[in-house]
C-alpha cells in the first residue's frame, strides 16, 4: 500500500511542532527528538492504515469546535443545576439508538460528544447501535443525538472509502 | 494590560473551581453509579480545562518565547484532557453497564429501557 506524501508531511510537521513545544526549543534535545518524531509518524501511519482513511475537514472542524465546547459548558451547568436543587430533579434511564453514521472515527467522536452533551453519557457502542444513559428521560435525547450525528457526518468528506477506525488527516 | 490579564486568569480558574465544586457535590448527592458518572465526567473535564486555560493565560505575563512555549504546553494538556475525559467516562460507564450494576429508582435495580427503532427516526 502506497503512502500519500501529504499524509507523511502532515504528521512530521505536527509531531515536530509538538516536540519543539515540549522541549522548550532546546537545541540539544533534537538528537532524541528527530528519531522520536520519525518513529511517532511511522506508528501513527500504521495505526491510521497508511493514510488511507477519510480525512477530517479541518475548516469545518474549526467551525464546529466552539459548538462542542459550548455544549460541554452547558453539560456541566446542567449537572450543577440539578445537583444544587434540594429535590434533586433526576429521572435516569437508558435510550438505545440505531446509528446511521458509518463505523470508524466518526462514531467514536459521536460517542465522545454525547458524553459531553447535557444529561447524556454514551454507555455502549456496538453493532450499529449506541446505548445512551440519560439523567432525565424528559430530555429530547433522540433529537439531540440526531442533530449531533448530522454535524459529525459533515465533518468527514463524502468519500466512501473504507474506514480503519481513525479519522485524523 | 497586566490588570486585564489577571482578571482573565482569575475568571477562568474561578469558574473551574466552581464547576469542580458542582462535580464533587454531584458525586456525593447522586444516588447510583450511572448518575454519579454524569457529575464526575462532565464537571471534571470542563473544570480541568478552565483551570488550565487560566494557567496558560497567567504565563502571558512575560511574553517571551519560554513562557509562550509553557502556555502552549498547557493548552496541549487541555486539549488532551478534552479528548481523554469523555473517553474515560465512556469506558467506565461501558464497564458498569457491562457488569450490570443496579440502577436507582426501581426496586429490583432494573431500568426503563427506551428502544428507538430505525423507522422511528425522524
What are A29-45's pLDDT values in tens digits? 889 999 999 999 999 88
Cβ distance of B112 and A83 shorter than 8 Å: no
**Is residue B34 classed exposed, middle or buried when 0-12, 13-18 and 19+ CB atoms within 10 A define those classes?**
buried
ipTM of the complex: 0.81
> What is residue A159's predicted lDDT score, i.e. its pLDDT?
47
The cell for B68 is 509562550
B89 to chain A, closest Cα gap in Å: 8
Under the banding of pLDDT at 50, 70 and 90, the label for residue A166 is very low
Q: Where are the beta strands (DSSP E) in A88-150?
A: 93-98, 120-126, 129-134
Give the pLDDT mean for A153-162. 61
The C-alpha atoms of residue B118 and residue B122 are separated, in whole angstroms, by 9
Q: Is pLDDT of A165 > 50?
A: no
Residues 64-123 of A with CB under 8 A from B: 72-73, 75-76, 78-80, 82-84, 88, 90-98, 100, 111-113, 115-116, 119, 121-123
Residue written as grid cell 509538538: A18
What are A49-90's pLDDT values in tens digits? 655 555 566 677 777 788 888 888 898 899 888 998 888 888
Q: If chain B, 122 residues long, is cut into consecutive pieces of 10 residues, what is the mean pLDDT of each piece?
A: 88 94 91 90 90 93 85 90 90 90 72 63 54
Of A95, A43, A75, A111, nearest in space to B83 by CA: A111
Residue written as grid cell 482573565: B8
> What is residue A5's predicted lDDT score, i.e. its pLDDT?
82
The DSSP call for residue B114 is: E
Amino acid at each position: 500500500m502506497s503512502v500519500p506524501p501529504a499524509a507523511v508531511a502532515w504528521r512530521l510537521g505536527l509531531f515536530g511542532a509538538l516536540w519543539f513545544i515540549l522541549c522548550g526549543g532546546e537545541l540539544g534535545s533534537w538528537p532524541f527528538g528527530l528519531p522520536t518524531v520519525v518513529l511517532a509518524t511511522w506508528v501513527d501511519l500504521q495505526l491510521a492504515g497508511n493514510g488511507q482513511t477519510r480525512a477530517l475537514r479541518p475548516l469545518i472542524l474549526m467551525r464546529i469546535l466552539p459548538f462542542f465546547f459550548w455544549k460541554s459548558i452547558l453539560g456541566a451547568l446542567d449537572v450543577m443545576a440539578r445537583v444544587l436543587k434540594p429535590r434533586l430533579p433526576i429521572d435516569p434511564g437508558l435510550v438505545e439508538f440505531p446509528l446511521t453514521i458509518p463505523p470508524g472515527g466518526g462514531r467514536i467522536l459521536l460517542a465522545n460528544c454525547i458524553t459531553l452533551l447535557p444529561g447524556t453519557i454514551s454507555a455502549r457502542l456496538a453493532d450499529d447501535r449506541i446505548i445512551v444513559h440519560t439523567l432525565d428521560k424528559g430530555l429530547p435525547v433522540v433529537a439531540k443525538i440526531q442533530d449531533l450525528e448530522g454535524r459529525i457526518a459533515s465533518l468527514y468528506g463524502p468519500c466512501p472509502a473504507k474506514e480503519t477506525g481513525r479519522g485524523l488527516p | 494590560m497586566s490588570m486585564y490579564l489577571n482578571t482573565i486568569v482569575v475568571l477562568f480558574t474561578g469558574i473551574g473551581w466552581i464547576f469542580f465544586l458542582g462535580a464533587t457535590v454531584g458525586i456525593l448527592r447522586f444516588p447510583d453509579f450511572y448518575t454519579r458518572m454524569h457529575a464526575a465526567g462532565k464537571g471534571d473535564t470542563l473544570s480541568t480545562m478552565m483551570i488550565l486555560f487560566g494557567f496558560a493565560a497567567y504565563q502571558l505575563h512575560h511574553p517571551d518565547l519560554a513562557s509562550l512555549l509553557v502556555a502552549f504546553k498547557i493548552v496541549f494538556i487541555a486539549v488532551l484532557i478534552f479528548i481523554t475525559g469523555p473517553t474515560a467516562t465512556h469506558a467506565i460507564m461501558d464497564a458498569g453497564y457491562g457488569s450490570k450494576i443496579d440502577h436507582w429508582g426501581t426496586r429490583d435495580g432494573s431500568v426503563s429501557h427506551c428502544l428507538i427503532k430505525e423507522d422511528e427516526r425522524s
